[in-house]
Amino acid sequence: MLPVRFSKVFVAMSVLLLCSIAFVSLDATAGAAIAPQAASTGPQCTFNGSALPLVTGVSAGSKIAISCKGLPPLHPYLFVGTSLLLGIDPAAAPLLSGQIVSLPGLIGLLSALPEIDLASEALPISDLSGNLNLTWTVPTFQPLDPNASCPPTQQEANSGLIGCAVAMIDLTSFKPVAAGSGVFEYSGFPFLPPNPTLALSTSRAVPNQTVSVSDAPGATTYWWLSTLAALEAALGGGAGSPPTVTVTLVDPHGNVVPVPSNIHVAPATYNGSTFAPPTISGGFSIPATVAGPETVNVQVGGTLDGIPLSNSASAPLFIDTPPTTNVLIPSNGATLSGTGATLDASASNASSVEFWLFGGSYGLSGHLVGTATLTYYGWIYSWNTTTVPNGSYALLSEAFGPGGSAFSSHLSITVTN
């Protein structure tokens, strides 16, 4: 439950509001004189004189001067401190989306949310001109759930929850007032979190292979931009635009090749008791045009409050070139017999070469003739043709290497013994 003081002050303010409205309604002349001018752009607030809803370098006890204009006249508001976990807690969705329609509903929800610091509440009222000035003191908040503390934990700060916030709530509509809600960033925390990490599912790959990505094992820094985007969407009451992910391969000469991917970055989550940092998942496909040592760069970019931001991380990857091979001896259409027929093949990017027969009694299953030996003249094998039935065959070489395996084109031979 909210403190008794909150309920008493709210009742007093409500009475004051009703009396003021009655006064304005009964005195038409005065009403014409004091009726507020409709603000064309809605409420506007500053924090320590800045229109940017961010105050940096604060600590417990710091004063934040909040000045708003364009509000309804003689209107009650609640200012209260909160952990930024509020923005990603599903239990807070009714408050952030404006679904609360009564004071008991507001009291019940605020009392149940561990992120809200009710001891820091302030209950100002706008003046007859729709202006409001308040000096709010940054509290030290240590709730029962340590995840919702202010200052935040280092894990939360590295996940994109860089500080805490002061929330402004309209006490007649029971909805948050975005213009009067601002983030304060604690002294000792960086303005933006450190860079995230990136791990690949393999250190060697081949063209057309899909490589999966993840956070590095034991990571303590994360893809924080996704959390900030989720916060902006929640506090703005909309879905927002998710950050975009781009993947490029960069060779030692600086040549950049963009690659397709299905990489997704999930923001940090909180369910009122358990906090989980952002995670990256998915993978990318290696183009057929790259080989050798490459650097995989993954960048997550977005625009928050009109400010372009990005996260990026990289990891090394060696891309092996698939082997190629071709039968040199015998020639196409040759007839072979005896125990010492020479087979020769060329091959590149290969660590071994085999000769195969297809057709005849072997059909499409094929028959392994033997494994060749690398010599100055190529990959050579001395074949005893009497080990296979007489007939017509397709002869192929198959090369194996770090980049996979590949068959040569076939040539026709006849075995006659």
**pLDDT tens, 249-264?**
999 999 999 999 999 9
**Closest by CA position to 62, among listed 120, 137, 122:** 137
Return the pLDDT at 240: 57
Is residue 29 scored above 90 in pLDDT?
Answer: no
pLDDT at position 32 is 32
pLDDT for 238 equals 53
> Which residue segment(s) compose the domain that 330 sits in?
324-415
Given 319, 337, 356, which residue is the final one in a domain?
Answer: 319
Domain count, the chain: 3
* Predicted confidence (pLDDT) per residue in 37-54, tens digit: 334 478 999 999 999 888
Read off the CATH number of the domain in which 169 is found: 2.60.40.230
For residue 236, the model assigns a pLDDT of: 62
Domain assignment present for residue 193? The answer is no
Strand partners, 210: 285
pLDDT tens for each residue of 337-393? 999 999 999 999 899 999 999 999 899 999 999 999 999 999 999 999 999 999 999
pLDDT in tens, 299-311: 999 887 778 889 9
pLDDT-based confidence at residue 239 (cuts at 50, 70, 90): low
The confidence score (pLDDT) of residue 337 equals 95
For the chain, the distance separating the N- and C-terminal CA atoms, rounded to the nearest angstrom, is 99
The answer to whether residues 138 and 245 belong to one domain is no
Residue 315 shares a structural domain with residue 349: no
Q: Which tokens hold the place of 17?
A: 């509001």
Q: Find the range with the poorest average confidence among 26-30, 235-239, 397-401.
A: 26-30
Asked whether residue 5 carries a pLDDT value surpassing 90, the answer given is: no
What's the pLDDT at 266?
94
pLDDT at 235: 67
Q: Is residue 333 part of a domain?
A: yes
Split at pLDDT 50, 70, 90, the class of 28 is very low
Shared-domain flag, residues 234 and 275 = yes
Claim to verify: residue 247 and residue 298 sit in the same structural domain: yes
Q: In sequence order, which residues have a C-beta less than 8 Å from that of residue 149 and are 6 or more positions away?
A: 83, 141, 142, 143
> 140 and 180 share a domain?
yes
Q: Read off the pLDDT of each residue in 117-145 and give the average, rounded to a whole number.
A: 93
Same domain, 16 and 144: yes
What integer best gives the mean pLDDT of the chain? Answer: 87
Whether 113 has a pLDDT exceeding 60, the answer reads: yes
Q: Over pLDDT 70: what percentage of the chain?
A: 88
Kindly indicate the confidence band of residue 141, based on its pLDDT and cuts at 50, 70 and 90.
Answer: confident
149 vs 23, higher pLDDT: 149
pLDDT of residue 203: 95
If asked whether residues 336 and 281 sit together in one domain, one would say no
For helices 4-26 and 103-112, the axis angle rounded to 10 degrees is 150
- Residue 144: its pLDDT value, please? 84
Q: Judge whether residue 199 has pLDDT over 80.
A: yes
* Residue 191 within any structural domain of the chain: no
* pTM, entire model: 0.72
The 3-class SS string of the chain reads CCCHHHHHHHHHHHHHHHHHHHHHHHCHHHHHHHCCCCCCCCCEEEECCECCCEEEEECCCCEEEEEEECCCCCCEEEEEEEEHHHHHCHHHHHHHCCCCCCHHHHHHHHHHCCCEEEEEEECCECCCCCCEEEEEECCCECCCCHHHCECCCHHHHHCCCCEEEEEEEECCCCCECHHHCEEEEECCCCCCCCCCCCEECCCEECCCCEEEEECCCCCCCCCCHHHHHHHHHHHHCCCCCCCEEEEEEECCCCCEEEECECCEEECCEECCCCEECCEEECEEECCCCCCEEEEEEEEEEEEECCEEEEEEEEEEEEECCCCEEEEEECCCCEEECCCCEEEEEEEECCCEEEEEEECHHHCCCCEEEEECEEECCEEEEEECHHHCCCEEEEEEEEEEECCEEEECCCEEEEECC
CATH number of the structural domain spanning residue 331: 2.60.40.10
Band of residue 140 on the pLDDT scale cut at 50, 70, 90: confident
Give the integer Cα–Cα distance in Å for 413 and 358: 10
Q: Residue 119 falls within a domain, yes or no?
A: yes
pLDDT at 403: 80
Domain co-membership, 340 together with 403: yes
